[in-house]
Amino acid sequence: MPFSFKDRNILVTGGAGFIGSNMVKSLIAENMVTVLDNFSAVDDRFLKPLAGKNLKVIKGDITKQETFRKLQQFDMIFHLAANSDVKHGSSDPMIDVNTNDTGTVNVLEFMRRSDSREIGFSSSSTVYGETDVLPTPETYGPYRPISSYGASKAAGEGYIFAYSHYYGLRGSIYRFANVVGTNSTHGVIFDFIHKLKKDPKNLEILGDGTQRKSYIHVDDCVNSMLYIHGLNRPTDVYNLGNTGTTGVLFIADRVCQKMGLKGVRYNFVPSKGGRGWPGDVKLAHLSIDKITSLGWKNRYSSDQAVEISIDETLKTIT
């Protein structure tokens, strides 16, 4: 890694969640880490094994400005807190506006007031919408997100660029593909396992079964975030994904196989255009040429990330 995250005072918003807890685990040995989380999506189960002198946990809501008044300057902020329930954006888009947009602006305002200079932001491949260029590079545009989640992430990116221009902040904006792995609390693998636990003979699959997306293991995701921010000087955007894609039926087959189930009936529930839900992007494949040109290489392929993540998720579900 070209830059060492060592002896730094770091804030991780959403640090109790899936990607956040893995980020904390990666940083905790050599840095002072403060987690800010409202624990609405998950309790502190992923943070308990990390408890020690280098970890401070604060319960707080990023949508409220008063949350930040108790905080002091940080060397680095990984802003990972967000409403991650992409499916339900069509029924209540204001959740994305309030949590993802207002929350991000509140983080940036705190940075401005406290003179905290560096931010890593969890954006998403959903900012692109349904593109006619696959794999999709960072230069693709104009953005046409088809979900309020994607729109809110695009807005968050815009505010980070604006604050960087106004106040000299340095930001790394990470557009995630589908992240899977340890501590996952949602997503297709998590959902399939839970559905099959309830009914081992039938599996409901949202969509028409033709969806293909790129998956990245959370270890590769977190390590690439640190790698890129170490190299990045001006505020810039990076796709974090994989060179290949994985189909939803491959995932269903592997989950059934690893659970020892045979003859499972697949029941498809497509919405408009065969999508899994309104706002779902059926074919998502990010170009990762930009990050690989800087020397980064994922440990796991898309299919491997899925396989490993099924095993990891099964271990945590009783």
What tens digit of pLDDT does each residue of 104-153 get?
Answer: 999 999 999 999 999 999 999 999 999 999 999 999 999 999 999 999 99
Q: Which residues are catalytic?
A: 149
Q: How crowded is residue 299: how many other Cβ atoms within 10 Å of its Cβ?
A: 12
CA separation, residue 59 to residues 34, 71, 279, 297 (Å): 11, 12, 31, 35
User: Which class is 9-179+215-240 in CATH?
Assistant: alpha beta
Tokens of 52: 């020690």
pLDDT band for 5, please (50, 70, 90 cuts).
Answer: confident
pLDDT band for 3, please (50, 70, 90 cuts).
Answer: low
Amino acid at 59: K
Fold matches, 9-179+215-240 and 181-213+244-316: no
CATH of domain 181-213+244-316: 3.90.25.10
What distance lies between CA 114 and its chain's CA centroid? 26
Strands 9-13 vs 32-37: parallel, antiparallel or unpaired: parallel
Contact (Cβ atoms closer than 8 angstroms) between residue 45 and residue 21: no
Percent of the chain with pLDDT over 70: 98
Distance CA 176, CA 184 (A): 15
Instruction: Give the residue extent of every domain in the chain.
Output: 9-179+215-240, 181-213+244-316
Q: For residue 153, what are the contacts with CB-CB under 8 A and spacing of at least 6?
A: 82, 100, 123, 124, 126, 127, 145
What tens digit of pLDDT does each residue of 142-181 get?
Answer: 999 999 999 999 999 999 999 999 999 999 999 999 999 9
What tens digit of pLDDT does each residue of 32-67 get?
Answer: 999 999 999 899 999 999 999 999 999 999 999 999
